[in-house]
Amino acid sequence: MPAARGLDVIAAELQAAQDQARQLAPVTAREPGFGLEEGYAVAARVHRARVAAGAVPRGRKIGFTNANIWPEYEVHHPIWGWVYEHTLIRGDAAPVDVSLRGLAEPRIEPEIAFGLGATPPAGADVAALLACIEWVAPAFEIVQSHFPGWKFQAADTIADGGLHGRLVLGKPQPLAALGDDPAAQLAGLTVSLSRDGQEVEVGRGSNVLGSPLAALAHLVAVLAGQDEDVQLQPGEVVTTGTVTAAYPVQAGQSWRARPAGIALGPVEVRFTP
């Protein structure tokens, strides 16, 4: 396990790779004993440096909640990372143009995002979680990898900010718009993902740890074992993980996610250089 000074060096290296959109060898391939705890320690160092430089935290992304993609990436449990003001794009009016500048090997993931009105308590049941959600929105997370070919271990992805690149939020709807049983709608929803007008996959809410609500519960449980300054706060956005595979993207493409079985509209992006 690297000492504190070693973690500082790794954090500086990863922050530079993120800023310069360049790739490097996975940390786990170079540092014996670099595990999940060290990954979060590196991510915390990068986060503090970004906030000190003026970045404004706006929420969290939960990654690898879809067990269907675990074998492809050899990551077998969820992770989390920060979402910032400069990585958050409001896409209420579709389509929204999104630049790929500054992203390394970007991929797209259709997701369900929550806006928190209160902090979910540790061990919250479904009713308590729902009571903390102010709104629900369709979303695209644009993820990236600073490790070539998307080859890494879980600790690498944590250290690399949860692979977060951009978060495009579709039009939010108040939780009340989901009717009398929002939990059932969230678990039972489907999302049709299309590229340039051609459907490529249909994902399900149940792909995300059984439900996007379950993904939120998982995040709350993980954060309960971490530092006080990373606990969720009212006003944060939480995106819960992809309901389909993650697909490579390039400039000139248009992507659309159309939810069904839930009172949410589509979200659409056009990628520019």
Tens of pLDDT along 250-261?
999 999 999 999
Which pLDDT does position 245 carry in this prediction? 96
For residues 255 and 106, is the Cβ–Cβ distance under 8 A? Answer: no
In the chain, % of residues over pLDDT 70: 98
Q: Which residues of 143-156 are buried (b: 16+ CB within 10 A; e: fewer)?
A: bbbbbeebebbbbb
For residues 84 and 106, is the Cβ–Cβ distance under 8 A? Answer: no
Which pLDDT does position 94 carry in this prediction? 74
Among 170, 129, 137, smallest CA distance to 269 is for 170
> Which domains are present in the chain?
57-272 (3.90.850.10)
Phi first, then psi, for residue 83 (nearest 5°) are -115, 135
pLDDT, mean of residues 162-180: 96
pLDDT of 265 strictly over 70: yes
Tens of pLDDT along 176-197?
999 999 999 999 999 999 999 9
Which pLDDT does position 222 carry in this prediction? 92
In the chain, % of residues over pLDDT 90: 89
Q: Which residues of 215-244 are buried (b: 16+ CB within 10 A; e: fewer)?
A: bbbbbbebbeeeeeebebeeebbbbbbbbb
| CA–CA gap between residue 132 and residue 135 (Å, rounded) | 9
Which pLDDT does position 21 carry in this prediction? 96
Mean pLDDT across the chain: 95
Which pLDDT does position 77 carry in this prediction? 81
Tens of pLDDT along 76-129?
789 999 999 999 999 877 789 999 999 999 999 999 999 999 999 989 999 999
Which pLDDT does position 54 carry in this prediction? 98
Tens of pLDDT along 11-29?
999 999 999 999 999 999 9
